[in-house]
Homo-oligomer: A and B are copies of this chain.
Amino acid sequence: MSPDRVSRLVACLENKLDAPGILVGDAVSDGYAADATARGVRPPAVLRPRNTADVSAILSAANGFHQPVVVQGGRTGLSGASRPLSGEVSLSLERMSGVESIDIAAQAMIVGAGTPLQVVQQAADDAGLLFGVDIGSRGTATVGGNIGTNAGGIRVLRYGMYRAQVMGLEAVLADGTILSSLKGLPKDNSGYDLNPLFIGTEGTIGVVTRACLKLHPKPRIERNAFVALPSLKAAQELLAKLRVELSGLLSAFEAIFPNVYEGTVAHMGIRPPVETGASMYAMVEIQGQSPEQDNERFETALAAALEEGLAIDVVLSNSLREFNGLWAIRDGINDYLFGLGEMAGYDISVPLSRMQEFLDRAAHGVAEIDPDAVSFIFGHLGDGNLHYCVKTAHEKRIAEAVFSGIAAVGGGVSAEHGIGTDKVRYLRYARSEAEIATMRRLKEAFDPNSILNRGRVFEASAIAL
């Protein structure tokens, strides 16, 4: 920690930023110290740029002083990327919020990085369009944070991860270099595409300031169904079948394991939409443009699933109330699990073809370490993304068991939430030494003094500490 360095940085920025652009001492509220999962260190200063030029001035100065910076958006992250470490000043994009323009014909929108996701969704909706990513923290999570963590959510199956929504970015490198690429051209091979440098790299390569985002037609019909299935295998076969039969319609396929389903409906105090006692459950959703035809395709595909024995029971929503009611069960899972007390949670990605093998390995590993452990599994089966939660008193050893299972089947240790600071030690279960060394090489090329989100994704270089 170097309070002198921070004071000098602040002094240097005082004539470049406006008064609300710098918070120091008691003006730094507690919120800046925490992300969605834990409290970190309260930063000695928070820098709040108005625009890209301000961001450039801040980074250029911080780089000159070798002053570490933590980049903050809505601070809703679940892995610690935006949770301040000792010695860091905060760069908060909160004032760079707002939708700048929407091109309805081109289905594209330009927004500031500090704009909350929900504002993006609403602006798209107001223009008769849809933004393809939705996550629970929509009211607070921002565009910049969503890009930095390559946010996922429920409709990745249909619209892809946040990466697929990015048509262009404006970003600032650690040395203050401004890169602006907001043309929104769907097809452009005029030199390297530099946008990927900033997507999913958790603010370690540069700071996103503005984005051109892709929009989609707003669905005229949304409908869902709750399905009871005889097995995980049947759920996988049904998924494969629906990806073909409902191509262009299927928008979610959420798997819910029996104890999670039964616990959630009991916790909610509602009548289960399909009978309990099955080996697997799923919530399936379509979004389409031709209500009559889409309904027919949905009903036909689900009827065929029943006939072929892939499904035991199906309940289709027949009203907006029923539609919301089925989603409420999926959304109610977190509430139920939180109520069970402290729980270890893993956001993992598993190849579909090896999912059963992974589950067997993990179950075996967990049981060996803690015979009393109880697992609760649900998630976005359509993307191979499971939320694997374990009620146990042996969190660290259980993590090793789960991630060893992941390593054995070639999965990912963080499907959606990123690595941040909290999962750095687990990265090696998913990526080779050569890959991690290459990440570091990329980081060092663009942030040689390691001022940006130092210690996130992989351990900081010795030289930077």
Partner-B contacts on A (CB < 8 A): 103-107, 149-150, 152, 156-157, 161, 163-164, 173, 177-181, 183-194, 196-197, 199-201, 216-217, 236-237, 239-240, 243-249, 288-290, 293, 296-297, 349-353, 380, 383-385, 410-419, 427, 430-432, 434-439, 441-442, 444-446, 457-458
Contact = CB atoms under 8 A, between A and B. Distances in A.
Count this chain's copies in the assembly.
Answer: 2
A186 B163 CA distance: 12
A121 to B, nearest CB: 18
A436 B177 CA distance: 12
Contacts of A414: 188-190
A297 B288 contact: no
Contacts of A432: 179-180
Contacts of A196: 193, 196-197
Contacts of A413: 190
B419 A107 contact: no
A322 B135 CA distance: 46
24 contacts: A106-B384, A149-B189, A163-B193, A164-B164, A177-B434, A179-B434, A179-B438, A185-B412, A186-B384, A187-B385, A190-B349, A191-B431, A192-B200, A192-B439, A193-B199, A193-B200, A196-B197, A217-B244, A217-B247, A245-B289, A248-B249, A248-B288, A290-B293, A441-B445
Nearest to A250: B248
Q: Give the interface centre of A191, A410, A427, A442 by most chain B CB atoms within 10 Å.
A: A191
Q: Which 9 A-B residue pairs are closest in the complex by CB-CB distance?
A: A248-B248, A196-B196, A445-B445, A188-B412, A190-B430, A187-B383, A293-B293, A190-B412, A105-B240
B353 A194 contact: no
A383 B289 contact: no
A161 to B, nearest CB: 6
Contacts of A201: 192
A110 to B, nearest CB: 12
A428 B247 CA distance: 41
Given A193-B200, A349-B190, A240 B179 contact: no
A349 B191 contact: no
A137 to B, nearest CB: 15
Which of A107, A248, A385, A427 is most buried by chain B, counting CB atoms within 10 A of its CB? A248
Contact of A105 (B104, B199, B200, B353): B353
Select the residue from A187, A351, A417, A437 with max chain B CB neighbours within 10 A: A187
Contacts of A187: 152, 156, 161, 349, 380, 383-385, 412, 415-416
Contacts of A103: 352-353
A141 to B, nearest CB: 14
Given A352-B105, A410-B183, A189 B438 contact: no
Q: Which of A431, A439, A441 has the most CB of B within 10 A?
A: A431
A353 B106 contact: yes
Contacts of A353: 103, 105-106
A185 B380 contact: no
A434 B178 CA distance: 7
Contact of A240 (B104, B150, B249, B411): B104
A430 B193 CA distance: 12
